[in-house]
Amino acid sequence: MKKRILVVTPRSPFQARGADELERLSGIKWFIQHGFEVKVITKTMNSDLPFIDVAQKELGIPIIPIPYKFTQKSSGTSKIKRLLNPLYWDGASYEYFDSEIVTAVEHEMKHCKPDLVWFDFTYLWPLHSVVKRFGVPVVTRSLNYEPKHFFEEEGISLKNIILYVPKVMTEFFAARSSDYMLALNPNEEKKYSTLGAKQICTLPLQALPDMLGPHSTHTQKPLHVLFMGSSYTIQHNCDALEFVAGKVVPIVHKKYPSQFVFHITGAKFPKKYESYIDNKTVFYDGYIPKEDMKAFFDSIDIVISPSVKDVGMQGKVFEPIARSIPLITSKNNIVGYPFKHKESVLFAASPEEYADMLSYVSQDDIREGLSRESGKLSRTLFSREIIDTLLLKMLSDLKIHI
């Protein structure tokens, strides 16, 4: 008899637009491929519904959409209600006190009787108690450590310092009420252990095994340098674009003329940055469809990723590493994985350091060595066998045998 899993996830991942959506969709597909009867409950915007219809047909699973309530509009009554109860202070978690999604989870527990309930993101913890009443194991897939992620996205201010406290509460409640925590990186595994997680391991991005492979070292000049920004509606992508195009590129062209051309990708490019694109030394290649990614990456010599994030796993950092493409990034972005400077990756902080690292990696043998070592290490960390072993161990530890 097939084992049943209920996956509860935030905004529909079925568009597979960015790293976190691709990660969540990869998790759903893993359970389908391993013979589980899968059902998904997901929060949605109206624009998500056509993708859900397509996904139900393609994946052959039922998907229950629940519209966002509190993030769409907030009445005076709900604001007072939140203010009076500290459990409601984290706005992301408050959405999962919504009676419609609570009722939907209760219905599935009573009538479908899943063997396991999988929650994406820690801020879904308000639903854990529903599952616990039925004696079913709760697994939480943490896609980033929310308090630090909040500061990185919103900045540090008096207001945000106050809002930081409920974010820490969210992590504490999720760690304590989950039967198994799956962290994205070794640093966060340590945090959740400290917070009291019962069982925990580091599970890398599940899309990475499909990206593993060698990369050819090109010898012709100029070398092609890539900066990836998934969407420029996100402020840290705009900041990184300004850093690369406005600061790094001028230094490189002055110190190392004719040695490099730069490519910029991502959706919704801001008009105010169009002056950086000259279509001679700096190109905007737009959004690259998934099916064209391999061919596009084959034409790239070096990737730079300056957005500094201490949480999760940035796709723009670990995708080039998995593809064995030489990468220059912040040391913080490696988030505890064992990639070392000038062995398997290059670290930089200031625009001048990025320019100097580009000069360093312009040597063919340096690029070849970085490519070889990053690919070799990636295969030991991110292979399909590793992902399968970790997930099968989790199931075994929870006494779920398939």
Instruction: Provide the residue ranges of all domains of the chain, joining segments of one domain with +.
Output: 4-206+383-397, 213-381
* Bridge partners, residue 345, by sequence: 341
Q: What pLDDT is recorded for position 65?
A: 97
Q: How far apart, in whole angstroms, are the C-alpha atoms of residue 124 and residue 170?
A: 9
The overall average pLDDT reported for the chain is 92
**Over 90: is that where the pLDDT of 318 sits?**
yes
Quote the distance between the C-alpha of residue 102 and its chain's center: 26
The residue-averaged pLDDT of 232-257 equals 93
Query: What pLDDT is stored for residue 281 in this prediction?
Result: 95
pLDDT of 79 higher than 70: no
Of the candidate CATH numbers 3.90.226.10, 3.30.70.270, 3.40.50.2000, 2.40.50.140, the domain formed by 4-206+383-397 belongs to 3.40.50.2000
Each residue's pLDDT tens digit, 16-74: 777 789 899 999 999 999 999 999 999 999 999 999 999 999 999 999 999 998 755 56
**Taking CA 364 as the corner, what is the angle to CA 360 and CA 370, rounded to the nearest 5 degrees?**
70
The C-alpha atoms of residue 134 and residue 147 are separated, in whole angstroms, by: 30
The reply to whether domains 4-206+383-397 and 213-381 share a CATH topology is: yes
Helix (H) or strand (E) holding 111: helix 99-111
How far apart (Å, rounded) are the C-alpha atoms in residues 278 and 24? Answer: 37
pLDDT given at position 88: 78
pLDDT digits (tens, 9 = 90+) for 176-217: 999 999 999 999 999 999 999 999 999 999 999 999 999 999
Chain centroid to Cα 180, Å, comes to: 19
Reported as type and span, the H/E element at residue 320 is helix 315-322
Residue type, 248: V
* pLDDT, tens digit (0-9, with 9 covering 90-100), for 137-151: 999 999 888 777 666
Percent of the chain with pLDDT over 90: 77
Higher per-residue confidence, 160 vs 3: 3
Q: Omega before 222 cis (within 30°)?
A: yes
Q: What is the structure's pLDDT at 207?
A: 92
Q: What are phi and psi of 102, to 5 degrees?
A: -60, -45
Class of domain 213-381: alpha beta
Quick one: average pLDDT of 90-107?
93
Give the model's pLDDT for residue 164.
76
| Reported pTM | 0.89
Confidence band (pLDDT; 50, 70, 90) for 166?
confident
What pLDDT, in 10s, does the model give residues 256-308?
999 999 999 998 899 999 999 999 999 999 988 888 889 999 999 999 999 88
Answer for the pair 24, 36: CB distance below 8 angstroms, yes or no: no
How long is the chain? 402
pLDDT band for position 334 (cuts 50, 70, 90): very high
Q: Which helix (H) or strand (E) holds 204?
A: none
